[in-house]
Chain A
């Protein structure tokens, strides 16, 4: 078990380093002249004084060769320094620290909704013997994956905020303002979870050991929850890391739609302003989130499937 964990930790570190490198490659190497982009931040004009450009280049260390830039940035990042925003100069790490909690609240609630609704749909759809109900339940996720999330948010706003006045239309105040954004975020993810879990349950329910359980005289309920679910949940668990990363990212859209402050709207503004350091910071944060959730899943997975860790053990 210890070796398993150590290996996973090492992989996590590699993923983080790689995410840093990829974002560096995309944001600093790919564009011809990152300085020009940042100098023209927000403005449409490209006529900037070359002297100003040179000064900026020096200030951001972008007049050094790429390899040196990369190394310096990497070392800085390891110390927690992710650079400074080109718009107002504040440290990226501070911006992230200030805005992360709001987004995390939103994302965690959305995750809870997604797991709840997704599992409920999948379990009901695979348990029921009424074909019409099963078909109906399974079209829900298909629809959920197809709806643009910005549109869903706006529709919910229209209905619940403007027409029915149940929830506030914008802002970060209190739990009630969390509900609609979290639901919006949850739609796509719950659809994915529902589809995956339903498919997994169907696969498991056609396995021979389920027949053995039936031959024992077990009831359908018992089979569904005590035999099938544990086997089916394992593959569904593996997408949790990806799901969490997607939720954090989709917050970009949701926070914009609902006019909430948080890491999502910060990202949207940063892209609009072509604020490269901030965008890189957000990419790294999402990679960290992904890695942490995956580590947690890796810890839980062997509890669900005993074949995993003990695969190498002697008989």
Chain B
């Protein structure tokens, strides 16, 4: 019997209009179904609508949500509460903010049992410890007494999975359960969900933007776009023979770990940036220090791309800031174009800035909201007093054309542009002084995939035209595969492996590199 049967569901938000425009969706008992879509596709809204947990301003306009034969739409609050947590569990996206910071872990797990009268206070507390153990949490008695901020992101997500499964629900809705986690932890959580639900026969509705995860974990795939279901079917079928135009474009635009690189590799440029034994300590108070960067050495050649890869906390961003001399190293040297720039300041430092520029990850935060695009792009020229006002304006127009933006955006403010457009403005700004090295700190991570592809293309073009060198920082191995000539892998502040890109990807020698590569869902390979 169909466990979840969504018929012609329509949801809209007061502020942004219709989000789900009449979809049909089925989940059978014990089945794992993935709903894939991008931001704005309505997949998350659908998941929340099933539980009646729409955000403020959201409303179900029509349709039915039949769960175990009962229509959840229009069900009174009290009856709906009996379903939530008991029959349907929810694993939320971001574990760092989804647990109540002032309550102990054990209490939060036990609460599910108490609310649904499955245990009294004492037994609930004991059951909570067992549930934590089943979720793979080491030392569960200790953890149960702790508060959320004592646990790492991965551990917190295990707690949330334990909470969702505590009352042994029939259906588990996982809303992007791993997108806020590091790649290596992602795999563990997905394994946990898979194992726990298989054992109990719980059906899973997995909402994700990551096609690779969907391909690996789900038996059926539902593709959503712009509030509608575009294609649905068994995973293997959809991936090997996509029927809908959208699904086809989807599959082709994705940066693949095994795809051919964007252009032939370069390996013989002269060293432009040489970093040796770089180290950075941060004081933690009470005499302790955190060594964010620990003895890192690498070279970036003129006209080539050196990619620095690692998870959050690996020290790659700090390394970028050290190279940009936005902060001083505790030890080691930074040499640019033959000159030692480790400790320069004042005018020499400013001169360095003309040759080394930066593009940040967050296109919203790196542009002054009160500046016009013209002012933003011209700022480096103005600061260094290059040319006159008119020549600067001309140059700005030039740069915008380079990054494929129309001259009409010159008078606009960042708030009026889309994410991709803002990032192009940031790139134009970085290019205005004609630098020889551009440090790119996760420049495409905050962008939608379609935009990512275009911006990466832009990076490649500019490198060819202008002979730029890139220090490209990313956690996304597939993106790195496309662009990088050399790759360095960082873990806990150390550079554990470095070398030509092809070698690293084909035959990684360090165990951590192998772990990173293995954690990337790469099953798309077998379906094309």
Chains A and B touch (C-beta atoms under 8 A apart): yes
Chain A residues proximal to chain B, CB less than 8 Å: 206-209, 211-220, 222, 227, 230-231, 304-307, 310, 312, 315
Q: Mark B371-411, 1 if CB is under 8 A from A, else 0.
A: 00000000000000000000000000000000000000000
What residues of A have a CB within 8 angstroms of the CB of B92 in the complex? 208, 211-212, 215
Contact of A209 among B81, B99, B164 (CB under 8 A): B99
Task: Give the complex CA separation of A211 and B98 in angstroms.
Answer: 8
B163 touching A217, Cβ below 8 Å: no
A-B contacts, 21 listed (Cβ < 8 Å): A208-B98, A211-B92, A211-B98, A212-B92, A212-B98, A212-B99, A215-B53, A215-B85, A215-B89, A216-B85, A216-B163, A217-B83, A217-B86, A217-B112, A217-B115, A217-B116, A218-B115, A219-B115, A227-B103, A231-B101, A315-B150
Q: Mark B111-150, 1 if CB is under 8 A from A, else 0.
A: 1100110000000000000000000000000000001011
B147 touching A307, Cβ below 8 Å: yes
Chain B residues proximal to chain A, CB less than 8 Å: 51, 53, 56, 77, 81-86, 89-90, 92, 94, 97-103, 111-112, 115-116, 147, 149-150, 152, 160, 163-164, 285-286
Given the interface contacts A207-B97, A211-B92, does A217 sit within 8 Å of B102 by beta carbon? no
Contact of B102 among A215, A219, A305, A312 (CB under 8 A): A305
Min CB–CB distance A55 → chain B (angstroms): 57
A212 touching B160, Cβ below 8 Å: yes
Task: Give the complex CA separation of A206 and B55 in angstroms.
Answer: 9
Contact of A217 among B84, B98, B147, B149 (CB under 8 A): B84
B111 touching A216, Cβ below 8 Å: yes
Task: Give the complex CA separation of A310 and B149 in angstroms.
Answer: 10
B149 touching A216, Cβ below 8 Å: no
Min CB–CB distance A104 → chain B (angstroms): 32
Q: Which residue of A lies closest to B96 (CB)?
A: A208
What residues of A have a CB within 8 angstroms of the CB of B150 in the complex? 310, 315
Other 6 A-B pairs with CB < 8 A, given A216-B115, A217-B116, A305-B102: A209-B98, A209-B100, A215-B92, A215-B164, A217-B85, A220-B77
Q: Which residue of A lies closest to B80 (CB)?
A: A217
What residues of A have a CB within 8 angstroms of the CB of B115 in the complex? 216-219, 222
What residues of B have a CB within 8 angstroms of the CB of A217 in the complex? 81-86, 112, 115-116
- Indicate the member of B51, B77, B102, B147 with the most A CB atoms within 10 Å: B102
Task: Give the complex CA separation of A255 and B302 in angstroms.
Answer: 79
Q: Which residue of A lies closest to B82 (CB)?
A: A217
Task: Give the complex CA separation of A217 and B79 in angstroms.
Answer: 10
B112 touching A231, Cβ below 8 Å: no
B149 touching A215, Cβ below 8 Å: no
B116 touching A227, Cβ below 8 Å: no
Given the interface contacts A212-B160, A216-B112, A217-B112, does A304 sit within 8 Å of B81 by beta carbon? no
A209 touching B82, Cβ below 8 Å: no
5 nearest interchain CB pairs? A217-B85, A215-B90, A216-B85, A217-B84, A208-B97
Min CB–CB distance B167 → chain A (angstroms): 8
Task: Give the complex CA separation of A193 and B51 in angstroms.
Answer: 35
A304 touching B98, Cβ below 8 Å: no
Task: Give the complex CA separation of A58 and B298 in angstroms.
Answer: 77
Min CB–CB distance A202 → chain B (angstroms): 10
Task: Give the complex CA separation of A222 and B100 in angstroms.
Answer: 13
Min CB–CB distance B45 → chain A (angstroms): 13
A214 touching B100, Cβ below 8 Å: no
B285 touching A312, Cβ below 8 Å: yes
What residues of B have a CB within 8 angstroms of the CB of A218 in the complex? 81, 85, 111, 115
B149 touching A212, Cβ below 8 Å: no
B101 touching A215, Cβ below 8 Å: no
Task: Give the complex CA separation of A216 and B86 in angstroms.
Answer: 7
B163 touching A212, Cβ below 8 Å: yes
Contact of B100 among A213, A215, A220 (CB under 8 A): A213
Task: Give the complex CA separation of A312 and B283 in angstroms.
Answer: 12
Task: Give the complex CA separation of A156 and B53 in angstroms.
Answer: 47
Task: Give the complex CA separation of A230 and B101 in angstroms.
Answer: 10
B101 touching A216, Cβ below 8 Å: no
B100 touching A227, Cβ below 8 Å: yes
- Indicate the member of B53, B81, B285 with the most A CB atoms within 10 Å: B81
